[in-house]
């Protein structure tokens, strides 16, 4: 069994491809965010008195109301407090949806305020744009795989096909975790858009666009968390397959090697695979391994998961933080912490740090019901999210 600390990792003997040698991995480009709309409230449309009275009947059938006024043409209700709001608000949304209206529940100056507005129309997505981006990403990832893994003993065509399929699966399952959850929560969202990019990954990630706001904090949490959890699982699977099929090679002195390795590789997967005798043995004159396309896709999936779980802005971790923490001050602290983590993680993450700062300039819209608290079970899931972040975090090899 090879000495994992002295050879494959401490001495950086994961051989990278020529593309990977040419420059440092552009880790910031692996961002795979679930985009939230930042301006969801529709234009205020003045309601007539008769409309107001009808809407008031619907609202008072669900909520106990202290005061009902037509404020600047918008039905506005001050609710009695305390009262159950989470399930009541969902029932109200269902009734309002039948007449193409929507509600917002906010805490303002110590009062619980509910407003009703017209439901904004949802613009259809362009299938031509979707398929154009997808085909372009298949091409760029195939070309990346074609030229990157010659030392792994695969033909260029097979290498390109395997890498393209693997990296698109990692990104696609991550985004489908968001999409499926959004559908289940009755939130309008696009299918995943894959973004073509240059080597060493051949893609700049994938994104879904959310076209309506989640109904409450539970839904916001689920949409934000299920993507990285799904992506992490498939990244683990690909990492195990890729590490178990590494090819020992002789790496010349001064050749480029993989500088960062996920914590899960170093402290969990590699020791476990070694104990099962699934890691190939290194014998002279070999002194390291050549990365194969499946291992590279697993590595990329880990980094994508880590970046998305940063608790800032519109990143998946930002959605989780927004649903968990009511205080703007604490979310600001987490944003600063996220930027600090990126800055101190090395120069490869600097551009991502600037991107997080830029995204943080836009206020998170939150859910429609921003009063009802996050469920206790989801607060416990937050602990699992922190663990996934830690296991995905890259450290020096």
Strand boundaries in the chain, DSSP class E:
14-15, 34-35, 65-71, 74-79, 101-108, 111-118, 193-196, 203-209, 247-249, 260-262, 288-290, 394-396
Summarised one tens digit per residue, pLDDT across range 6-59 is 333 333 356 555 555 544 433 333 343 444 443 444 444 568 888 999 999 999
Task: Concatenate the DSSP letters of all residues of 264-321 into one string.
Answer: HIIIIIHHHHHHTT-SPPP-TT--EEE--HHHHHHHHHHHHHHHHTSSSTTSHHHHHH
Between the alpha carbon of residue 130 and those of residues 175, 182, 190, 193, the distances in Å are: 14, 18, 9, 6
> DSSP 3-state assignment of 198?
coil
Summarised one tens digit per residue, pLDDT across range 197-214 is 999 999 999 999 999 999
Q: Quick one: tokens of 290?
A: 């050549």
Q: Quick one: tokens of 126?
A: 């362009």
Cβ(171)–Cβ(227) below 8 Å: no
Summarised one tens digit per residue, pLDDT across range 54-113 is 999 999 999 999 999 999 889 999 999 999 999 999 999 999 999 999 999 999 989 999
Residue 150 to residue 45: CA distance in whole angstroms: 62
Summarised one tens digit per residue, pLDDT across range 144-194 is 999 999 888 899 999 999 999 999 999 999 999 999 999 999 999 999 999
Residue 136 to residue 138: CA distance in whole angstroms: 5
Q: Quick one: tokens of 35?
A: 């985009």
Bridge partners of residue 118, in order along the sequence: 101
pLDDT for residue 245 is more than 90: yes
Summarised one tens digit per residue, pLDDT across range 305-353 is 999 999 999 999 999 999 999 788 999 999 999 999 999 998 889 999 9
Quick one: pLDDT at residue 16? 55
C-alpha neighbours within 13 Å on the C-beta side of residue 304: 37
Domains of the chain and any CATH numbers:
5-38+123-396 (no CATH), 49-118 (3.90.1070)
Q: Percentages helix, strand, coil for the chain, rounded to the nearest 5?
A: 50, 15, 35
Residue 233 to residue 230: CA distance in whole angstroms: 5
Residue 366: name the closest of 39, 32, 92, 34 by CA. 39
Q: Quick one: tokens of 279?
A: 């890691």
How much is the pTM? Answer: 0.87
Residue 290 to residue 294: CA distance in whole angstroms: 12
Quick one: pLDDT at residue 6? 30
Residue 298 to residue 303: CA distance in whole angstroms: 9
- Mean residue pLDDT of the chain comes to 88
93-101 CB contacts, 8 Å cutoff, 24+ apart: 93/215, 93/368, 95/58, 95/61, 95/62, 96/55, 96/58, 101/55
Task: Concatenate the DSSP letters of all residues of 34-58 into one string.
Answer: EEPPS--SPPP-PPPHHHHHHHHHH
What is the pairing mode between strands 14-15 and 288-290?
parallel
Summarised one tens digit per residue, pLDDT across range 258-314 is 889 999 999 999 999 999 999 988 888 888 898 999 999 999 999 999 999 999 999
pLDDT for residue 5 is more than 80: no
Quick one: pLDDT at residue 370? 96
End-to-end CA distance of the chain: 19
Q: Quick one: tokens of 45?
A: 């449309």
Quick one: pLDDT at residue 26? 39
Confidence of residue 255 (pLDDT cuts 50, 70, 90): confident
């Amino acid at each position: 069994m090879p000495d994992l600390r002295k050879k494959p990792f401490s001495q950086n003997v994961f051989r990278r491809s020529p593309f990977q040698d040419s420059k440092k991995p552009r880790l910031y480009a692996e961002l795979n965010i679930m985009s939230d709309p930042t301006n969801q409230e529709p234009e205020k449309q003045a309601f007539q008195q008769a409309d107001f009275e009808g809407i008031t009947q619907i609202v008072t059938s669900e909520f106990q109301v202290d005061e009902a006024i037509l404020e600047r043409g918008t039905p506005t209700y001050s609710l009695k407090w305390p009262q159950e709001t989470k399930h009541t608000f969902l029932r109200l949304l269902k009734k309002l949806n039948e007449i193409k209206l929507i509600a917002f529940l906010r805490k303002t100056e110590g009062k619980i305020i509910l407003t009703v507005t017209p439901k904004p129309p949802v613009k259809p997505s362009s299938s031509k744009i979707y398929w154009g981006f997808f085909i372009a990403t298949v091409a760029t990832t195939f070309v990346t795989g074609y030229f990157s893994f010659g030392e792994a003993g695969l033909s260029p065509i097979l290498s390109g096909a395997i890498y393209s399929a693997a990296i698109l699966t990692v990104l696609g399952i991550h985004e489908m975790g968001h999409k499926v959850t959004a559908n289940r929560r009755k939130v309008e969202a696009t299918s995943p858009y894959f973004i073509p990019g240059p080597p060493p990954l051949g893609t700049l990630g994938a994104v879904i666009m959310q076209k309506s706001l989640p109904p409450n904090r539970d839904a916001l949490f689920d949409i934000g968390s299920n993507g990285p959890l799904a992506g992490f699982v498939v990244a683990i699977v690909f990492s195990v397959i890729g590490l178990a099929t590494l090819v020992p090679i002789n790496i010349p002195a001064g050749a480029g090697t993989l500088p960062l390795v996920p914590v899960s590789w170093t402290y969990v997967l590699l020791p476990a695979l070694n104990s099962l005798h699934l890691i190939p043995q290194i014998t002279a004159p070999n002194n390291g391994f050549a990365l194969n396309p499946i291992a590279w896709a697993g590595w990329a999936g880990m980094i994508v998961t880590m970046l998305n779980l940063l608790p800032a802005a519109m990143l998946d971790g930002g959605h989780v933080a927004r649903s968990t923490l009511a205080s703007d001050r604490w979310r600001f602290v987490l944003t600063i912490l996220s930027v600090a983590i990126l800055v101190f993680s090395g120069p490869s993450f600097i551009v991502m740090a600037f991107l997080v700062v830029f995204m943080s300039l836009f206020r998170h819209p939150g859910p429609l019901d921003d009063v009802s608290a996050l469920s206790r079970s989801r607060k416990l899931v937050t602990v699992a999210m922190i663990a996934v972040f830690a296991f995905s975090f890259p450290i020096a090899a």
